[in-house]
Structure 1
Amino acid sequence: MSEAAGTNATAPSARSGAVIFIFVTLLLDMLALGIIIPILPKLIEGFVNNDTANAARIFGVFGSIWALMQFVCSPILGALSDRFGRRPVVLLSNFGLSADYVLMALAPNLIWLFIGRAISGITSSSISTVFAYIADVTAPEQRAAMFGKIGVAFGAGFIMGPALGGLLGEIDPRLPFWAAAGLSFVNGLYGLFILPESLPAERRAPFKWKSANPIGALQFLRSNPTLAGLSLATFFGQLAHVVLPSVFVLYATHRYGWDTGTVGATLALVGLCGMVVQGAAIGPIVKLLGERNALFLGLVCGALGFVIFGAAPTGQLFWIGIPVMALWGISGAATQALTTQLVAADQQGQLQGATSSVQSMSELIGPFLFTLTFAYFIGDNAPLKMPGAPFYLAGALLLLALAIAARATAAKTTA
């Protein structure tokens, strides 16, 4: 481990206000993103004369371009934050997102909406910079707990954003975009006056294109065997996660006959359980078990949760799997903590950008993998009817991630 990665020269007390801002930043970002989730497919549908099948295909293309922009731009923004500091990247992203949501609110056709979605993928790539900021201001042994607490913002945004977007969309389908623009703009103003820089000038690294591109980012992750193994485990874990946004609604409707209200309530329960784990459980569990064992526990719980989802013959039994699945969140915070200890202070942005690119790769592959699996196993030509097949596949991917992470970290623990 780099010596720079294991020290934290800035007193945590001096940065408590900055950590609060980062929490608020992520919360508002997730709210803004969540607000448009329930309305964007409807808006697309309106542009294609309410042709649902065509709208679904276009929505899939929109999701792919968003993930592609994340894949390309996350390492660039991460490297820029290592060179110029975290503050300017975070602030420019907030104001850029605000302008982009205005563009989508005014979009007269699908082409402009597509452009807006691409820009959103670029500006949302700064989330990797936010995680680098946390690594800057938090001691290595405290990072897992801090990443968990910051993860509460994701859960809260996941609960409140779609609900607010649905309410606003009933008034006007463009209104959620205006609300998202306002949230991002207020967030930018808030940071402009409050957010301090976390990366001192003496700890910054020169910007290099060879490392600030997706290929260079992946090569960076291969620079350390433990980092490479954890990154590969992260890829399979993120790929497994894509099953939820890809097939959950289709699965719940097909197998349990749920209406939109039940689906929404279930998603809210998912977010609530995730918040409890992220905010209250990660710190004590990591302190008790250590980061490596906490990582393993999270992956096992995630795999078990997916098995419950796939096997549950009733909606009530499906709900039993939600708190089990929520414990999977432990692994994400533990992985973040382990990887940040493997690179120097002036490489934290590069690390987070590269990690975001890995996640984006999974988001490009996952929707096709899980929707095709679901369609095959409920189709007429399936060797047996198994609507839960995508969840079994996701569980297997988590067990593969567990095996890779165990091997990657074995040398670290015996060194």
Structure 2
Amino acid sequence: MNNDDPPVQEWIDECSNNINNNSNNVIVPIYNNGYDYGDKDKLPLDRVVDDNYNDKLSSEHDPLIKKGNSDALDAGPIWRQAFFKDKVMINVFFALGMCTVVMSGLMLPLVFTEYVKYHHPTYTSQQVESEAAHLKSIADSLPYVANFLLSPLLGMMSDRIGRKWIMALIQLLQIIDMLMIGLASWKKVIIPLYISHSLAGVSNGMISIVFSYLADITTKAERATWFIIVGTGMGISLAGSPLIEILFLKFSFNVAVFGNIGFLIAGMFCLLPIVNSLHYSEGRLKPASANLVKANTNPFSAILMLFRSSKYIIFYALLNLSFNFTLQDTLTTSFYYTQLRYGWIPWQCAVSTSLIGVAVFVWSGIAIPLLLRWFSERLLVVVCFFCSATFHIAYTFAFDQYMWQVSICLGSFSLVIINLIQSIISKATPPDIQGTVLSGVSSLASLGAAAGSYSSANIFAYFISSSAPFYMPGMQFLVNAVLIYITCILSLIVYKRVPEPRPRSSIIDAEEKVPVLSINA
């Protein structure tokens, strides 16, 4: 027992006095770090539980301890945590959304290839690949531009009306986009696809909103675990969805379109039973008097505010931007690259993506939780950047398809950077502006992703065309490898020179007060 702990006998005496007074609602004081918060009038969050309160809000959606269930004070098994159902459902929702992202990623190259063949029947196969890659680079870039412009607005709205409704809106836009993908294939028109794909680009900020939702309903101690679970779900989606999509395509393109829409609708149903996290902060009820921070919906102003907020957050936001820029080479060119270099057909690309998903599952669900026992998140970010740069060199010179597959699976370790950086920034951000800050970070990253997708696809298209000084289909990987090595060095400098800030909260004081227990006598 610490010297600052209150005497146990004093605690027992106070409980006994409350019981002897025949109170209908016995207040049991809880002591934390030597502070007595037994006086309900002093509670900053107005967290006293009485019978009326219990009737209004079920214990399943409230992290308070009802009926003297003191065991819940301990973290205990993950399934006994508060909001367990909501945490599970939001992970299922995100995993289903990731499935459609991966599956549409397999459909788009087919759409643009068929479009070019239809409108340019005299093109050689190499010309078709080059032109289709160029057209796809536009479709890949526009969603990031839309996400950049709309992320601050969505972040502000998620802080005002709740993450749940913003996620539902994004899901609806993705359903419309999937219908336009079908239209592009059926009618050989791409303008409607460009428009819908741009609007659905806000889904690129979905992971930030999901992390904000989890930040609302998790304590800091629980958060890292659930962020890792998000990454694990991402791996499962990557592993399973390509095989499902190939099965859909074996029937017809129409089955693939409506099958993907079915996944999106299933995701919408996952949102129905979850609690609106608007009323919570770090797993606890917000006070009724909590003030909302005024948010700016101008993306440029939002980024400027981000740069004025905290050096620590700025540095990691810039590292996130760099990673999103260099990530696009594998996302936007892998299909055409493997088709051109190894003669792969769609089912081989699907199997490759599934193997990457298995690797991501291993990294996120097994390797990272083990590594976090001995190493900090910040150090792992440095390691991930180094691995990413090294394997980009391997992608460039993967003359054999098996060398490519092994390299891409091992290199997928770097994908955990997304979750690690989101977790780092989330922990350094006041809880009542999680959505605003993380959406600002997402908006900044979208600029990098838009530039990265456009540049990578066009570098690839140029170096396989007759205009290039030499033929090198992997040039985009080599260029990005240099950039990632530079980013790795910068991340190491940030790790060594920039100290981790003390956790801040604009709702909960640094000497965090804990609520009282309610026991109905």
**2:89 matched to 1:89?**
no
Is contact 2:94–2:267 with CA below 8 Å preserved after alignment? no
Structure 2 CA distance for partners of 1:58 and 1:81, relative to 1, 3 Å: same
CA–CA separation in structure 1 for the residues paired with 2:419 and 2:203:
23
Amino acid at match of 1:197: N
CA–CA separation in structure 2 for the residues paired with 1:251 and 1:100:
25
CA–CA separation in structure 2 for the residues paired with 1:59 and 1:155:
25
CA–CA separation in structure 1 for the residues paired with 2:182 and 2:342:
35
**2:490 matched to 1:404?**
yes
Task: Give matches, 1:7-406, under 5 Å.
Answer: 10=63, 13-44=81-112, 49=118, 51=120, 52=128, 55-102=132-179, 105=182, 109-122=189-202, 125-192=205-272, 194-200=273-279, 202=286, 206=292, 208=294, 211-222=296-307, 223-375=309-461, 386-406=472-492
Deviations 1:21-68 (A, max 9, x none): 111011111122233223334345556625446655443332222222
Structure 2 CA distance for partners of 1:404 and 1:138, relative to 1, 3 Å: farther
Deviations 1:217-261 (A, max 9, x none): 312321211111111111111111111023323333444444444
CA–CA separation in structure 1 for the residues paired with 2:203 and 2:94:
13
CA–CA separation in structure 2 for the residues paired with 1:16 and 1:318:
40
CA–CA separation in structure 1 for the residues paired with 2:343 and 2:173:
41
Bigger radius of gyration among the two: 2
Q: Secondary structure at the match of 1:312?
A: coil
Amino acid at match of 1:115: I
Structure 2 CA distance for partners of 1:141 and 1:289, relative to 1, 3 Å: farther
Structure 2 CA distance for partners of 1:382 and 1:180, relative to 1, 3 Å: closer
Amino acid at match of 1:214: P
Deviation at 1:184, TM superposition (A): 1.8
Matching residue of 2:37:
none
Q: Secondary structure at the match of 1:287?
A: coil
Deviation at 1:326, TM superposition (A): 2.5
Percent identity for Structure 1 against Structure 2: 23
Is contact 2:138–2:454 with CA below 8 Å preserved after alignment? no
CA–CA separation in structure 1 for the residues paired with 2:164 and 2:260:
21
Structure 2 CA distance for partners of 1:387 and 1:183, relative to 1, 3 Å: closer
Q: Secondary structure at the match of 1:36?
A: helix
Is contact 1:159–1:267 with CA below 8 Å preserved after alignment? yes
Structure 2 CA distance for partners of 1:388 and 1:59, relative to 1, 3 Å: closer
Deviation at 1:191, TM superposition (A): 1.6
Structure 2 CA distance for partners of 1:269 and 1:103, relative to 1, 3 Å: closer
Structure 2 CA distance for partners of 1:247 and 1:36, relative to 1, 3 Å: closer
Amino acid at match of 2:214: I
CA–CA separation in structure 2 for the residues paired with 1:40 and 1:130:
26
Structure 2 CA distance for partners of 1:265 and 1:337, relative to 1, 3 Å: same
Q: Which region of structure 1 is more displaced relative to structure 2, 65-74 or 386-395?
A: 386-395
Q: Which region of structure 1 is more displaced relative to structure 2, 50-59 or 291-300?
A: 50-59
Structure 2 CA distance for partners of 1:179 and 1:261, relative to 1, 3 Å: closer
CA–CA separation in structure 2 for the residues paired with 1:41 and 1:311:
23
Structure 2 CA distance for partners of 1:177 and 1:349, relative to 1, 3 Å: same
Higher helix proportion: 1
Amino acid at match of 2:271: G
Structure 2 CA distance for partners of 1:59 and 1:282, relative to 1, 3 Å: same
Deviation at 1:274, TM superposition (A): 0.9
Deviation at 1:199, TM superposition (A): 3.4
Is contact 1:230–1:404 with CA below 8 Å preserved after alignment? no
TM-score w.r.t. the length of structure 1 is: 0.86
Amino acid at match of 2:436: Q
Deviations 1:338-380 (A, max 9, x none): 1112210011111221222123212211133223434555566
Is contact 1:37–1:162 with CA below 8 Å preserved after alignment? no
CA–CA separation in structure 2 for the residues paired with 1:216 and 1:18:
33
CA–CA separation in structure 2 for the residues paired with 1:384 and 1:47:
28
CA–CA separation in structure 1 for the residues paired with 2:464 and 2:113:
26
Q: Which runs of 5+ in 1 are unaligned?
A: none
Deviations 1:262-292 (A, max 9, x none): 3332222112101111111212212211112
Is contact 2:239–2:358 with CA below 8 Å preserved after alignment? yes
Q: CA RMSD in A?
A: 3.1
Structure 2 CA distance for partners of 1:359 and 1:205, relative to 1, 3 Å: farther
Amino acid at match of 1:318: W
Q: Which runs of 5+ in 2 are unaligned?
A: 1-43, 45-61, 65-74, 76-80, 121-127, 281-285, 503-521
CA–CA separation in structure 2 for the residues paired with 1:57 and 1:330:
29
Is contact 1:74–1:125 with CA below 8 Å preserved after alignment? yes
CA–CA separation in structure 1 for the residues paired with 2:170 and 2:345:
36
Is contact 1:273–1:322 with CA below 8 Å preserved after alignment? no
Structure 2 CA distance for partners of 1:273 and 1:173, relative to 1, 3 Å: same
Q: Secondary structure at the match of 1:317?
A: helix
CA–CA separation in structure 2 for the residues paired with 1:43 and 1:336:
33
